[in-house]
Amino acid sequence: MNLFADAFAWLFDPLNWQGSGSIPQRIAEHLGYTAAAMILAMVIAVPLGWWIGHTGRGKELVVGLTGAARALPSFGLLFLFVMLVGVLLREPAAVVVLMLLAIPPILAGAYSGFEVIDRRTIDAARAVGMTEWQILFKVEVPLGLPLLFGGLRSAILQIIATAVLIVYIGLGGLGYDIVQGIELRRYDQMLGSALLVIALALVFDALFALLERWAVPRGVRAGRNTDVRTTPHGRRATAELSATT
Amino acid sequence: MTWVFNNLGLILELTLVHIRLSIVPIVLGFVIAIPLGWLAYRFRLTRGLILTLIGLLYTIPSLAMFVILPPLLGIGFLSEANVLIALTIYAVAIMARSVADALASVDPDLRQAAVAVGYSSWSRFWTVDLPLSGPVLLAGLRVVAVSTVSLATVGIVIGVQSLGYLFTNGYERGILASVLTGVVMTVTVALVFDRLLVLLGRWLMPWTRLGRSTGSNAGPQEQETPATVPAGVQPVTKGGAR
């Protein structure tokens, strides 16, 4: 446990919180790559996933992609991309690899969010005269949000975890301190920065878990459309359901 | 291509090492996940505890995991045990949820029927619940196998040999063929594991084959879809409101 005490001492040492290569700078780098990759992945995968979910075309693509992506070693992809585009372009290469990793879970989340909607709900929306765009944005998107957020949550975890490895292609991020600690045999530094990475991942996981919960309309939170009454009784029933399932 | 031919021996050796490094966590993960998954399925209290805990474990990035395990467990930082344990933890994290979902997927009527004809809960678990949850278990195990094979490459950063050696060594020496071979071989091993598990599943669960041939007009492709889609989505939605 002494090692952990040393790690916390390293973490809270004011010297490590200022200057170049300081902890805040590493966190900023880490979050910078994460945000860039995440935004790009969302811009591509969310509309595509919704389109696949809405039209039903290209389902096999999603299933195939999510399966294949799991088999791809992200660590190897980082090296591969940097070698392909050249060391000078390693920053964009890293962002592209991180983005590629995030696309399958987001695509799966966006698509399966639509897929789980009861077809009768959509037929009903069409029957009351909604246009396809209205069906998309007023019915499918809100109902599909829980699974979409699940997909985003998984994607950002994947990105944060892989961004730890970009130090091996000569970039920064929180992995830098871990690897430097390994090389200098400074256990306090490697353990301290490892704990920092874990904390960062947990914070984002919790953040997206909250989003998953609260950005979703009340009626959806039950996960079923058997009881959509808004009477106090119905509300309580759905709340209980969401708490226990 | 010349590089590949000149290094066939190395590639083969690393592939075998990689397979050995991946099989242990897959098997251990499966075995450990069954009681955990059962606990998560059976009691509401343990369900919340176990699913939250494995959700948190799964969140830990691999490099950080390699760093925090040694002081916690008293093992060597550069040891193979470090990588094996880390990979097993990830395998358990994915698989325990699958086991819980798989047991919940068993038709309650069948369970009642088993109780009615006099099965004790112990024998019912092994002879009714577990075999019937086979298809969902298999879907989970396939995810575990593929991601373990892919993740095992990271072990090279603490000096544990695997196909990951082709990445780091190839990158340092500027040999693109080496890195590419590493990626291709890792994916190949993962896909072979996946196929073998599917074949094993067909052999152990002949009734799923039967259901497939009598299914109205759903082709094999469509039959496989539900098995893989939830499997892909399950780890995605881990630890949440599920």
Residues of chain B neighbouring A223 (CB-CB closer than 8 A): 241
Which of A213, A216, A222 has its CA nearest to residue A242?
A: A222
More confident residue, B226 or B188: B188
Q: Which of B197, B203, B188, B187 is nearest to B227 (CA)?
A: B197
Q: Enumerate the residues of chain A whose CB falls inside 8 A of the CB of residue B55.
A: 205
Residue written as token pair 């916390």: A8
Distance from CA of B149 to the nearest CA of A (A): 7
> Which ipTM score applies to this complex?
0.80
What does the pLDDT read at residue A219? Answer: 67
Helix (H, G, I), strand (E, B) or coil at A44: helix
- Among residues B124, B97, B123, the alpha carbon closest in space to that of B41 is found at B97
Lowest-confidence region among A89-103, B17-31, B68-82, B219-233: B219-233
Q: Give the count of beta carbons closer than 10 Å to the beta carbon of residue B136.
A: 23
- Residues A117 and A131: their CA atoms lie apart, in Å, by 18
CA angle A145, B59, B181 (to 5 degrees): 100
Q: Is the CB of residue A182 less than 8 Å away from at least one CB of chain B?
A: yes
Q: Which residue of A has its CA nearest to B240?
A: A209
Classified as helix, coil or strand, B216 is coil
Q: Domain coordinates of chain A in residue numbers?
A: 3-214
Contacting residues of B for A104, CB less than 8 Å apart: 232
Query: What fold, for A3-214?
Result: MetI-like fold (1.10.3720)
Per-residue pLDDT band for B232 (boundaries 50, 70, 90) equals very low
For the entire predicted model, the pTM comes to 0.82
List of residues 6+ apart from A215 with CB closer than 8 A: A145, A149
Residue B170: its chain A contacts at CB < 8 A? 79, 83
Q: What angle do CA B147, B153, B158 make, to 5 degrees?
A: 130
25-84 in chain A: CB under 8 A from chain B:
59-60, 63, 66-68, 70-77, 79-80, 82-84
- Residue A164 to residue B182, Cβ atoms within 8 A: no
CB A109 within 8 A of CB B230: no
Q: What is the pLDDT along chain A (245 residues), one digit of tens a residue?
A: 588 888 888 888 888 888 777 888 999 999 999 999 999 999 999 999 999 999 888 888 888 888 788 888 989 999 999 999 988 888 999 999 999 999 999 999 999 888 888 889 899 999 999 999 999 898 898 888 888 998 999 999 999 999 999 999 888 889 998 998 888 888 888 899 999 999 999 999 999 988 888 767 776 655 554 544 444 444 444 444 444 43
The H-or-E segment that residue A163 falls in is: helix A141-163
Given CA atoms B181, B186, B191, B197 in this order, what sign does their dihedral have? positive
Contacts of B67 in chain A (CB under 8 A): 178, 181-182, 190-191, 194
- DSSP string spanning B160-197? --STHHHHHHHHHTT-HHHHHHHHHHHHHHHHHHHHHH
CB-count exposure of residue A2 (10 Å: 0-12, 13-18, 19+): exposed
CB contact under 8 A, A59 and B143: no
Render pLDDT for B74-128 as a digit per residue (tens, 0 to 9): 888 888 899 999 999 999 999 999 999 999 989 989 989 999 999 988 899 999 9
In tens, the pLDDT along B162-206 reads 999 999 999 989 899 999 999 999 999 999 999 999 999 999 888
pLDDT at B12 over 50: yes
